[in-house]
Structure 1
Amino acid sequence: MRITEIGAGTIGVSWTVLHAAHGHEVTVTDPRPDLDEAVRDGVRRFAPSIGADADDLLSRVRTDPDLASAVGKAEIVQEQGPERLAVKQEIFTTAGAAAPADALLLTSTSGIVASDIAADLGADVAARLVVAHPFNPPHLLPLVEIVAGARTAAETVERAATFLRSVGRDPVVEHLEVSGFVANRLQSALFREAVSLVRRGVVSPEELDRVVTGSLGPRWATGGPFLSFHLGGGAGGLRHMLTHLGPGMERRWADLGHPTLDDATVEALVTSTEAAYGDDYDALTHDRDRAQAAVLSAREES
């Protein structure tokens, strides 16, 4: 299958690694002057985490800085451009006109809904456009949120889900468009309270991370919030849990923080996080990917 990735940042290269590892021919397009280097270095960085040979993957990857040319023969177009509505609208105006008439159009946007991106597109292009939001890094994490726009065809949703399953992803088709979709809204809610607790001096960023990786992280890796609470209620399940512990939980909802990301807060968070972890991106990424691959492997084997 011929796939064009729009954007050679972290998400675009991660998708490139995944698709090339499944034997697909991938074209990466981006106007950046270091396009070849960015793709080559990114593939070499990510390939080991899925047990792939970087040179083998790169044999199925090409670059083309011209968007219209890059999508000209694509069966699937996957966009990872800047998270700005006007930019995404411009990208899909060009891609929709230049790509084959039956090409599947996917956007990895982290929060902009498909209806807004497709607002000024022709009906045939809008019908083939759907959100396929991954969780970083998509070459490892299985979730992809599929969210249709008001004019997305039902066939497009099914095609997107079928394709993503074929490359080992777990697509979740969401029923309504909401800004940020589901995973990022959950992440934002937890991070808001994390920022509040750190700024109040309850814990440091490193200590908060240890709280999560030693409790919620492994718990939610095997069962999400609803299943976890259903089991936490014992034989009585979620009903028992909410009846007996729900009132206390509801009281804590009222006490959750409402921090702002002002300059002082950003500086405090960044300084303390860098002090704890450093800034060696390659080393941190390697450690993260190795650990996440191990968790996913253990979950599959259980």
Structure 2
Amino acid sequence: MSDQLSRVPPQDVRTVTCVGAGVIGGGWVAYFLSRGYRVVAWDPAEDAEARLRHLVGTAWTALTDLGLAPGASPDSPFDNLTVVPDLTDACAQADFVQESAPEDLELKRTLLADIDAATPEHVVISSSTSGYGMSEMQVRCAHPERTVVGHPFNPPYLIPLVEVVGGTATSPEVVAWTSDFFRHAGKSVITMDSEVPGFIANRLQEALWREALHMVAEGEATVEQIDLSITDGPGLRWAIQGPMLTFHLAGGQGGMAHMLDHFGPSLLSPWTRLTAPELTPELRDAVVDGCEREAGGRSVDDLVAERDRGVIAILRALGRV
């Protein structure tokens, strides 16, 4: 109870510590900086700071275009960023911690325990894990009640969604606090009622990803055809209404009831293969080569800029900025 009473209210968080500064962690750093927070970052890699500054600098153009929050520096994203070499120092300064280490369960367990030991007891510790449940990861923490999943989507500095869910030892108050914090920080939040492996969005993405790999492996579709089928097909509808409302409209005036009654029997048709295909060297090479062809000489930085401009345009068109 004392930890709860001394916890900073979500709207009063000023310093966010980001542990891990890769693609996801660095994306979080850029986002929090754009929202006016002071960010303290830690990553054990020797070139972590250089990579982080490159990522933040690349993202800042899009974030400035989207609109910076009061307190963010319009001239330099690095004014409110401190990169420190010591994890204990980084955690000691935090009002909130976002961990974004690689998806390795043993690493997550050890790192979260280290973060827990170094962070003031009233501070919430959130993990960006994309698949592990907090119940699996919090087992070595002395204070597991303040550990929670805050699962973002790449790039975290642009995609609004965060899925929040606690583990078996997580306090319900911490789940509620974390959801409130992310909403105050400008995120769209799903507060999950219970842990599900892969959460919600990743499970749906995974089904599509597996079917795409099957089609490439069987020579049924190319990488370019698969991407075009989504960007110029269902993806346009999904940016406005999700798959459930999309199928609701497919039922015409009868809505989902007509859709299920009319097309329900086709659910038994063996269209999809939800088991993962074997990732053979041939399949790997086909996917890699297809992506290179589709990129058409555009660098990763070029593609990131193109993606970011498109996401901002969609957000603006939908009135979600």
Normalised-by-shorter TM-score class: over 0.9
- Using the alignment, how far apart are the partners of 2:108 and 2:90 within structure 1? 16
Q: Provide the residue aligned with 1:215 in structure 2.
A: 233
Q: Confirm or deny that 1:19 pairs with 2:32.
A: yes
Give the Cα–Cα distance (whole angstroms) in 1 for the partners of residues 259 and 196 of structure 2: 29
Post-superposition Cα deviations, 1:220-263, rounded to whole Å, max 9, x if no partner, equal 11111111111111111111001111212331456667522122
Q: Deviations over 1:51-86 (max 9, x none)?
A: 256743210001012111111120101000111111
- After superposition, where does 1:102-141 map in structure 2 within 5 Å? 102-122=122-142, 125-141=143-159
- Aligned equivalents of 1:206, 1:267: Cα separation in 2: 14
Inter-partner Cα distance in structure 1 for 2:48 and 2:281: 33
Amino acid in the other structure paired with 1:69: D
CA contact (8 A) 1:18 1:167 kept: no
Q: For 1:118, what is the secondary structure of its paired residue?
A: helix
Match of 2:141, SS state, is coil
**Structure-2 residue corresponding to 1:236:** 254
Partner of 1:260: 278
Report the number of matched residues. 300
Aligned: 1:28 with 2:47 = no
CA distance in 2, matches of 1:253, 1:149: 36
Deviates more, 1:188-197 or 1:54-63: 54-63
Find the aligned partners of 1:36 and 1:193 in 2 and give their Cα distance: 38
Q: 1:90 aligns with which of 77, 86, 110?
A: 110
Amino acid in the other structure paired with 2:187: R
8 Å CA contact retained: 1:48, 1:54:
no
1:64 and 2:84 matched: yes
| CA spacing shift, 1:222–1:66, aligned 2, 3 Å | same
CA positional deviation for 1:199: 2.2
Change (3 A) 1:219 1:185: same
Map 1:133-152 → 2, pairs under 5 A: 133-152=151-170
SS at match of 2:157: coil
Equivalent in the alignment of 1:2: 15
Which residue in 2 is equivalent to 1:299?
318
Q: Provide the rounded CA distance (Å) in 2 between the counterparts of 1:177 and 1:256.
A: 21
The CA RMSD over aligned residues, in Å, is 1.8
1:48 equivalent in structure 2:
61
The superposition leaves residues 169-204 of structure 1 with CA deviations (integer Å, 9 ceiling, x where unpaired) of 111011221221111111110011111122222221
Q: Structure 1, residues 150-170: CA drift from partner, whole Å, max 9, x if none?
A: 011111111111110112111
Separation in structure 1 between the aligned mates of residue 63 and residue 268 of structure 2, nearest angstrom: 42
1:205-224 C-alpha deviation (Å, 9 max, x unpaired): 01111110111111111111
Stretches of structure 2 lacking an aligned partner (at least 5 in a row): 1-13
Secondary structure in structure 2 of the residue aligned to 1:300:
coil
Distance 1:75 1:258 in 2: 41
What displacement does 1:131 show? 0.5
The structure-2 alpha-carbon separation of the partners of 1:279 and 1:199, relative to structure 1 and needing over 3 Å to count, comes to farther
Question: Which range moved further: 30-39 or 161-170?
Answer: 30-39
2:299 maps to 280
CA contact (8 A) 1:140 1:289 kept: yes
Q: Out of 214-223 and 197-206, give the one that drifted further.
A: 197-206
Contact 2:22–2:48 (8 Å) recurs in 1:
no
Measured after TM superposition, the shift of residue 25 of structure 1 is 0.5
**Higher mean C-alpha deviation, range 175-184 or range 216-225:** 175-184
Q: Which residue of 2 aligns with 1:192?
A: 210
- The answer as to whether partners of 1:47 and 1:54 remain within 8 angstroms in 2 is no
The 1:255/1:134 distance shift into structure 2, 3 A limit, reads closer
CA 127–284 in structure 1, closer or farther in 2 if over 3 Å, else same: same
Task: Report the residue type matching 1:207 in the other structure.
Answer: Q
Identity within the alignment, %: 37
TM-score, L = length of structure 2:
0.89
